[in-house]
Chain A
Amino acid sequence: MADVKSQVSLTRPNSKLREQAIKVSLMASSMIAVLVTIGIVFSLAVEALRFFSEVNVFDFLFGSEWSPQTAMRADQVASKGAFGALPLLAGTFLISIIALMVAAPFGIYSAVYLAEYASSKRRAVLKPALEILAGVPTVVYGFFAAIVIAPAIRGWGQAIGLDIASESALAAGLVMGVMIIPLVSSISDDVITAVPSALREGSVGLGATKSETIRRVVLPAALPGIAGGLMLAASRAVGETMIVVMAAGLAANLTFNPLEAVTTVTVQIVMLLTGDQEFDSTKTLAAFALGLALFVITLVFNIIGNMIVNRFKEAYD
């Protein structure tokens, strides 16, 4: 603590160094996000490649038989057909399509109401309330689907003489649909609000009622954006795990009948990795191959969805 002058001259170069250090650590932090992506791609790709050295890629992608349990026997490790992922992909898409068929009408109509009709006061209450649906943990939806929805659907089926599996794709899909309603609704809401009011005013000026304006002018104009939003919702549905683990089936079943039990990519990843087994077995490697497929599918859906939504918003800017 001598005199002030030397203090100043001493701290100056020092603080410059400190600022440099801070900037470097800031940059390093943002690089972690890139490292995570690289980590995901590499860990999935490396394990998947090891899997593909044992099982042919085409057998994996287009094989219609999935029975990883039989591959436990040493003489069957590379047996053809045991790791055919086609039924899993079909099951995943079946459940996702059911989910979208629930989420699309509810989400889009909610968005229309919130964006065009609701007073700002009502909107301020209803919009966050809808968002709660997205905040409920998926394990809760899964539990609810398994103990309430699935038995109810089965009961209704029996009442009209239909034989519905207790782990039907329908039950899992319906509940998953409810979960993604807020996602569809908030993207559609954004898109509908982005449609310029000149279009609406033109239509109303020509004598159309509000609903006619919405149906004939606003929604057609917003359609590409809404379609992009549905892609994003589909990506969420494909990657969803807990609902299907708890409410969908375990056995691979190549069918498009929503009343039967199907299994999904995520269910199989969980099944392959939650038992006790060696890490290097073909079974665990198969889980990483499935993970890679899942990553690629959701990434493609997201990129396309985001591209459409962004292009749509720019078109009216």
Chain B
Amino acid sequence: MTDNIHPLTRAALPGLTQRYASEKRFRLIGLSAVVLSLSFLVFLIGGIAFRGMGAFVQTEMQIEVSAETVENHTGSSFALMRKISLENFEASARSERRLSVSMVGEGADEDLENALADLGSFSGTARVWVRASDDIDVAWKADLDPEMMTTLRPKQVEWLQALANEDRLRTSFNTGFFTNGDSREAERAGIGGAFVGSLLTLSVCLLLSFAVGILAAIYLEEFAVKNKFTAFLEVNINNLATVPSIIFGLLGLAVFLNVFGLPRSSSLVGGMVLALMTLPTIIIASRVSLQAVPPSIREAALGLGATRVQAVFHHVLPLALPGMLTGTILGMARALGETAPLLMIGMVAFIADVPGGFTDPATALPVQVYLWSDIPERAFAEKTSGAILVLLVFLLLMNLTAIIMRKKLEKKW
């Protein structure tokens, strides 16, 4: 652009080159502001994905089982697992015996039991895969990085090296991460309970906020007379949309728990609180999509003798519904990621069971993230990132659904 300027112009306008240079600079600053913001997003999601991928797999170790030990054993499989670990990792001193037992993880006895059942009867020795302890898991996933083995004793590191040299360590898909409830033991802790909790909470939230939100929007857009009261309603709803989410939690605590006496920590109360929070969003989105329906539709229906209610419910609402649904999905996505109000109503307790109903104590996915992030154990850092990844995948799916729906169903009048 700078090159094809006439020399006379250049002479007449001194400093033009600098002015064009600063034009370019300014444009570049604008672009880099966008690019830097987006690269932070990539950095954020990439960093968490990098940390969290490990949560979806678990380390297993191959141990030797002799038929003799199995046949002579009477008692629980837990005790058998103990005996077999002692055999596998030669421990001389008393203190080393404990170290050898803690090589295998929580639930290794179940793996052993299943493996033996599959094996049937055997003679001599067999090799079976069992879950490794979380410390071994962390070390193996970090490729035996010495910095990640600080929790292991020298003897355990020795055993671990030996296993690695004999190729007796592997990682397999961690189904427990998706199905288990929370646990104090990292090997057992999963997001199953939190996921079900989120699902229950969101269904309560959806039921309440969708019904109320759409009806309120219809009233404001189609029936309300323009007067001071309606203006007040409108200001009210707009302000409610900007109230910090934690305030809704306080409302839930004071009203739903203390006045109505609903069960603390339950997904029912969680859903109600989130419904109040998403209500303004849904009302605003629904009003916008009602406004987009051209008045000719209403007039045609009224002209053919329909009542106002009929005109709205038979003709306007079906046309506005896709837009309303899109707004609702976006509201639900926000509710899924919300943590603060749930902390206020006690959905932050340690809950090992998967909730079975709306009144059972429950947590939600983001609350689980918060709870795990507080645990200093290394294995939980990985779990936290893993849970975040699952949460982000769901949010992405919901947002994509909303975008696709908007594209497909949107009508241009």
- Asked if A235 is an interface residue, CB under 8 A from chain B, the answer is yes
CA distance A246 to B370 in the complex (A): 8
Give the nearest-CB partner of B345 in chain A: A273
Task: Decide if A270 touches B246 in the complex (CB within 8 Å).
Answer: yes
The reply to whether the CB of B279 lies closer than 8 angstroms to some CB of chain A is yes
Comparing A57-65, A107-115, A220-228, the segment that makes contact with chain B is A107-115
Tell me the minimal C-beta distance from B404 to chain A in angstroms. 13
Residue numbers in B under 8 Å from A117 (CB-CB): 27, 30-31
Name the distance in Å between A109's Cβ and chain B's nearest Cβ.
4
Q: Which residues of A contact B385 (CB under 8 A)?
A: 143
8 A Cβ contacts from B285-315 to A: 307-309, 313
Query: 0/1 per residue, B196-239, Cβ < 8 Å to A?
Result: 00000000000000011101101110011000000001001111
**Contact (Cβ within 8 A) A33 B283:** yes
Interface flag for B242 (CB, 8 Å)? yes
B346 (CB) vs chain A CBs: closest residue: A274
**Interface-lining segment among B41-49, B57-65, B101-109, B173-181:** B41-49
Asked if A146 lies at the interface with its beta carbon under 8 angstroms from chain B, I say yes
Instruction: Give the segment of B90-98, B127-135, B387-395 that binds chain A.
Output: B387-395
List chain B positions with a Cβ less than 8 A from chain A: 13, 19-20, 22-23, 25-27, 29-34, 36-38, 40-41, 44-45, 47-48, 211-213, 215-216, 218-220, 223-224, 233, 236-240, 242-248, 250-251, 253-255, 258, 276, 279-280, 283, 307-309, 313, 333-334, 336-340, 343-344, 348, 366, 369-370, 373, 381, 384-385, 388, 391-392, 395, 399, 403
Main secondary structure of the interface of A (DSSP, over half): helix
Q: Which residues of A contact B337 (CB under 8 A)?
A: 135-140
The chain B residue sitting closest to A28, CB to CB, is: B215
Q: Which residues in A have some Cβ–Cβ distance to B below 8 Å?
A: 15, 19, 22-23, 25-27, 29-30, 32-34, 36-37, 39-40, 43-44, 46-47, 105-107, 109-110, 112-114, 116-117, 126, 128-130, 132-133, 135-144, 146-148, 178, 181, 185, 207, 209-212, 214-215, 232, 235-236, 238-242, 245-246, 266, 269-270, 273-274, 279, 287-288, 291, 294-295, 298-299, 302-303, 306
Chain A residue numbers with a CB within 8 Å of B44 are 136, 140-141, 144
CB of B333 within 8 A of CB of A43, answer: no
* A30 in contact with B224 (CB, 8 Å): yes
Closest to A288 in B: B250
B261 shortest CB reach to chain A, Å: 12
Given A32-B279, A33-B236, A43-B254: A113 in contact with B243 (beta carbons within 8 A)? no
List chain A residues, Cβ under 8 A from B48.
140, 143-144
